[in-house]
Each structure stands twice: as C-alpha cells, then as structure tokens.
C-alpha cells in the first residue's frame, strides 16, 4: 500500500493538491480535519473548544489519524499543520514501521504572499465565510503567516521531502509532484513502474 501524507501550514493548499493528486494516481483521498468531524460528529471548532490545550485535542483525535494511516488501499492524506508533531508524529512513525505500508510524507510549501491569497475563513459550524480582507488586515495576516511558517518549520522538517509549489499552476502540480517522487523515492518509483506494466498488460 502506498500512502502519501501531506503536511504544511494552514491554507498552503494541502487539501486541494491532495485531492488532485489522488485523482491523478487513482488513490483514495482523505482530508484529516473532515475525517475528524465525521468520526466525532462535531465541527472542528466545537471539538477544539472542549480542550484547554491544543495537545489535549491532538491526543483525543489521534485515533482518527491512526485509522487513516492504517486503512487498506492506496491513499493521499491531507493532514493539519501539526501533522508531524507530538502524538500525531508518534502515530505516523508507528505506521511507517508497518512493512505493508509505503508511507511518504511531503511538506507542501509556498511563499507567504501566495498563501495569503488562499486564506479561507469558516464559522464555528465549519461553514465557509465570504470574507474580504482590507489592506490593513492583509498586512496583519501576512505577518501571522510568516510567524506560522517559522513556528512549524521544525515539525515540517521531519517530512521525508519538501515540495515547493511557488510558480506552479494548480493543474500542473499533481504531475510535477509525481515526477518529483519518482526521482526521490525508489519504492514509489517501483510502484509507478508496476502500475504502468499492469496497465500495458491490459491493452
């Protein structure tokens, strides 16, 4: 089984890229946050409000990550900014030890100005809000994005690879990412070759 685990800061594009990548590879796609909401039957904001500390929230929801990482079949998982941090990191490492899994983690990165353009806002019920930022708000959010990149750098550096999407058109990213993985990861390269061989056998 091949599992591609995407990490990166909020609004860098993990879910959008993950879904497109899964379609390109014919894998199943999972959005970690949405899977948490399905599992517990509550919006993320409501879940997080239950806990005094973010670590307690991660401790509670680690079971969802465990199940996703150990599901049968090939998949792409879009994780959260803390995807390679404390209890989530431990779940990731345990799954990586599973010989049946080829688990590959990729840190998706981009420049702060591009991330600012992709900012999305949700209410407490996880409903998308149509919010237009003022120039002053844009400056403040850009500052926060830069802080978040710095803070999560030590966690995202634990990923197997970093893939920077700056300058890439969205529809080109999945193919570029597949080519990147083939050049970097022998197990993934072997999987792609086997898939090509199997498909050519059907012709």
Of 6-10, 42-46, 69-73, 123-127, the range with the lowest mean pLDDT is 123-127
pLDDT of residue 203: 47
- State the average pLDDT over residues 51-65: 94
Beta-sheet pairing, 75-78 with 2-7:
parallel
The count of structural domains within the chain is: 1
- State the average pLDDT over residues 22-26: 95
* Domain span at 100: 2-202
- State the average pLDDT over residues 123-144: 88
- Whole-model pTM over 0.85: yes
Contact 177, 163 (CB under 8 A): yes
Residue among 17, 152, 141, 146 at smallest CA distance from 82: 152
What average pLDDT does the chain have?
92
Per DSSP, the three-state class of 29 is strand
Residue 193, domain CATH: 3.40.50.300
101-113 confidence digits (pLDDT tens): 899 999 999 999 9
């Amino acid at each position: 089984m091949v599992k591609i685990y995407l990490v990166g800061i909020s609004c860098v594009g993990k879910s959008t890229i993950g879904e497109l990548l899964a379609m390109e590879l014919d894998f199943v796609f999972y959005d970690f946050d949405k899977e948490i909401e399905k599992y517990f039957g509550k919006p993320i904001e409501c879940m997080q409000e239950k806990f005094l500390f973010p670590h307690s929230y991660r401790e509670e929801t680690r079971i969802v990550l465990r199940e996703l990482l150990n599901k049968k079949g090939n998949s792409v998982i879009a994780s959260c900014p803390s995807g390679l941090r404390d209890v989530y990191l431990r779940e990731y490492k345990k799954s990586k030890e599973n010989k049946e899994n080829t688990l590959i983690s990729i840190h998706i990165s981009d420049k702060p100005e591009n991330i600012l353009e992709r900012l999305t806002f949700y209410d407490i019920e996880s409903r998308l809000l149509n919010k237009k930022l003022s120039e002053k708000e844009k400056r403040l959010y850009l500052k926060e994005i830069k802080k978040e990149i710095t803070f999560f750098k030590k966690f995202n550096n634990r990923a197997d690879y970093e893939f920077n999407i700056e300058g890439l058109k969205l529809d080109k990213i999945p193919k570029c990412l597949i080519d990147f993985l083939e050049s970097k990861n022998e197990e993934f390269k072997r999987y792609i070759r086997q898939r090509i061989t199997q498909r050519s056998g059907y012709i």
